[in-house]
Amino acid sequence: MVQQVEASRAALSRDRVLQAAVALADTAGIDSVSMRKLSQELGVVPMALYKHVANKEELLDGMVDVVVGEIDPPRRHADWKSPADWKSAVRQRILAARRTLLRHPWASRVIESRRSPTPVVLEYMDSMIAMFRDGGFSIDLTHHVMHALGSRMLGFTQELFDDSQRLAPNAQAAGLVEMAGRYPHLVELAMAAAHEADSVVGSGCDDQFEFEFALDLQLDGFERLRQQGWSSKAPTPS
Amino acid sequence: MVQQVEASRAALSRDRVLQAAVALADTAGIDSVSMRKLSQELGVVPMALYKHVANKEELLDGMVDVVVGEIDPPRRHADWKSPADWKSAVRQRILAARRTLLRHPWASRVIESRRSPTPVVLEYMDSMIAMFRDGGFSIDLTHHVMHALGSRMLGFTQELFDDSQRLAPNAQAAGLVEMAGRYPHLVELAMAAAHEADSVVGSGCDDQFEFEFALDLQLDGFERLRQQGWSSKAPTPS
DNA sequence: TGAGGTAGGTATACGCCGTACACTTGTCAA
DNA sequence: TTGACAAGTGTACGGCGTATACCTACCTCA
């Protein structure tokens, strides 16, 4: 009776649960997404969530679907001027994916952690494959190219590397000389990066530039293979 | 007194803890590496571990160090015949890293999850940078190239993609026609991959081939930039 | 010799987590 | 009216990481 009117606890649904989970992850970080905290956010008892998702794994799958579903759709093949347009079509889509993933910084980690792809991710991959095929790539080449893209396909790569961002502050005071002794090349590189990045904010690397650099290098490599009518195992044209 | 003799509970030490953790992860999976199970494995009470590692994060860091420390060292620069040898030196080292990481399948996930690199990883990166510099790469180009390699530097990439391995078994019976309707390009590709892989075991993809394909494509791209004396932001030679 | 510090192992307890299971309650079809 | 069903509740269990206090064997040095 009262409940029907009270907006803040409108009836739960799978979608409302997933939306709330994404919102919670966005604002409080992925570590805050526990069944208990999420249920609290929804004004409900923890076990109530299990009427809408089977378990936490499925919740995370659903969150991935929400995020990947936000990525702009690809340019329609019919709008292409030539097969060579594959490159800009793929490039645009991947950068769109990156824009979306950057809005949900937790998402890349969660995507990596899934053990089988969700339907929405499968559809994304399918449309990506379609672009290569429409661009004249053989099935085999498309296959290898998809593997080579890996997670870059969704707009992210694990960095494993945060050079100046972590090194420079870390290395203030006497720590730097010890660092320079132990990792001379790394420090040289970090210093150069920090210097070069004066124009950019905060002395870190320009992540967007690095991403596009790597992406374009790969796409150029793909195009070269396509043009030479890549047939079978001979990945090194040399 | 008795304890001194009894081999199975020789005195604990940081190294023994880390070795046991790696062994446990290797045999029982990373999920089995909890402070409690690990302590049990060592015949000791859980809190005893905290005398040798500050907390679980540090334990995981230590495990990464053990694994990365197992990677074969690089070919010495002095042994190179020409600067162009950078490519085979880098290639060999990365494939050595891959061999090591494959022996510890949990390691790539753990490495990704660390938030700042451990000293051993820093040293690995330093030696990798050294190879590019010795090969005649400018600092800037080395920087971008390191970013582009990302986790491939350590011999792995997140796959996000398991095509035939997961699709084919999944798609037996009527599921396949539904699949083919929903993801036509993906199914086409998976079928082709499964067919092509008759020679390989288990109808999955040849992960090693895919890895080397992507790696060589990147290295060739790097070499091309190096040869044209890459100076500043112009990543697309077109 | 013996007093005190210290390193290494122990015991107990707290708060978090995911979720199994049994229950109530509101809704709607037959 | 009844009875099935969907949705929310309450309680409880076993697992986790780890704070805190304690014990005890050993080493050092006066």
pLDDT at B198 over 80: no
From A109, A189, A222, residue closest to B142, measured CB to CB: A189
pLDDT of residue A2: 33
CATH 1.10.10.60 fits B11-68, yes or no: yes
pLDDT at B32 over 80: yes
Confidence of residue B199 (pLDDT cuts 50, 70, 90): low
% of chain A surpassing 90 pLDDT? 74
pLDDT of residue A175: 76
The pLDDT of B29-51, averaged and rounded, is 98
- Contact between chains at B154 and A166 (C-beta distance less than 8 A): no
Asked if B78 and B139 count as a contact pair (C-beta separation under 8 A), the reply is no
pLDDT at B189 over 70: yes
Asked if A206 and A163 count as a contact pair (C-beta separation under 8 A), the reply is no
Q: From the Cβ of B35, is strand C under 7 Å away?
A: no
**What CA–CA distances, in Å, run from B167 to A43, A116, A127, A152?**
39, 10, 16, 21
> Closest Cα to residue B147, out of B132, B166, B163?
B132
Interatomic distance A36 CA / C15 C1' (Å): 13
Phi first, then psi: give them for residue B155, nearest 5 degrees.
90, 15
The pLDDT of B182-196, averaged and rounded, is 89
What is the amino acid identity at position A62? Answer: G
Rounded CA gap, B82 and B134, in Å? 10
- A5-54: per-residue pLDDT in tens? 333 456 899 999 999 999 999 999 999 999 999 999 999 999 999 999 99
Under the phi-then-psi rule, with left for phi > 0, alpha for psi from -120 to 50, and beta for the rest, what region is B55?
A: beta
pLDDT at A3 over 60: no
Rounded CA gap, A21 and A59, in Å? 8
pLDDT of residue B51: 98
pLDDT at B3 over 50: no
Which residues 118-147 of chain A have a CB within 8 Å of chain B? 119, 121-123, 125-127, 129-130, 133, 139-140, 142-144, 146-147
Pick the CATH number of A2-53 from 1.10.10.60, 1.10.3720.10, 2.30.30.40, 1.10.8.60: 1.10.10.60
Q: Which nucleotides of D are covered by protein (CB under 7 A)?
A: 6-12, 15-21, 26
Token representation of residue A193: 């990066």
pLDDT at B232 over 60: no
Sort out which chain B residues have CB atoms less than 8 A from A171's CB and list them: none
The pLDDT of B178-205, averaged and rounded, is 81
Q: Is the dihedral of CA B150, B155, B156, B157 positive or negative?
A: positive
% of chain A surpassing 70 pLDDT? 83
Confidence of residue A152 (pLDDT cuts 50, 70, 90): very high
Compare all CA atoms of chain A with the CA of B223 and give the residue at the minimum distance: A238
- Contact between chains at B162 and A133 (C-beta distance less than 8 A): no
> Closest Cα to residue A123, out of B144, B186, B217?
B186
**How many Cα atoms sit within 13 Å of B73 on the Cβ side?**
4
| Burial of A113 per CB tally in 10 Å (0-12, 13-18, 19+) | middle
Instruction: For the domain made up of B69-158+206-227, give the CATH fold.
Output: Tetracycline Repressor; domain 2 (1.10.357)
> Closest Cα to residue A102, out of A157, A144, A54, A181?
A157
The pLDDT of A177-191, averaged and rounded, is 92
Count of other CB atoms within 10 angstroms of residue B70: 17
Per the model's pLDDT, the better-predicted residue between A167 and A3 turns out to be A167
From B196, B205, B217, residue closest to A148, measured CB to CB: B217
Domain parsing of chain A, residue ranges: 2-53, 77-155, 163-203
pLDDT at A225 over 60: yes
Rounded CA gap, A233 and B10, in Å? 53
pLDDT of residue A30: 98
pLDDT of residue A161: 65
Name the least confident of A185-199, B97-111, B223-237.
B223-237
DSSP 8-state secondary structure symbol assigned to residue B104: S
Rounded CA gap, B33 and A223, in Å? 45
Sort out which chain B residues have CB atoms less than 8 A from A192's CB and list them: 139-140, 143
pLDDT at B52 over 70: yes
pLDDT at A169 over 90: no
Compare all CA atoms of chain B with the CA of A236 and give the residue at the minimum distance: B216
pLDDT at A171 over 60: no
Interatomic distance B1 CA / C13 C1' (Å): 32
pLDDT at B234 over 80: no
pLDDT of residue A109: 95
pLDDT of residue B202: 54
The pLDDT of B198-209, averaged and rounded, is 72
- Contact between chains at B122 and A150 (C-beta distance less than 8 A): no
Residue nearest to nucleotide D11 (CA to C1'): A47
Rounded CA gap, A125 and A71, in Å? 12
Per the model's pLDDT, the better-predicted residue between A149 and A172 turns out to be A149
Name the least confident of A102-111, A223-232, B135-144.
A223-232
Confidence of residue B1 (pLDDT cuts 50, 70, 90): very low
* Residue of A207, A236, A238 to mutate for B, most B C-beta atoms under 10 A: A236
The pLDDT of A148-177, averaged and rounded, is 75
Rounded CA gap, A25 and A12, in Å? 18
State the average pLDDT for chain A. Answer: 88
pLDDT of residue A205: 84
Interatomic distance B29 CA / D10 C1' (Å): 35
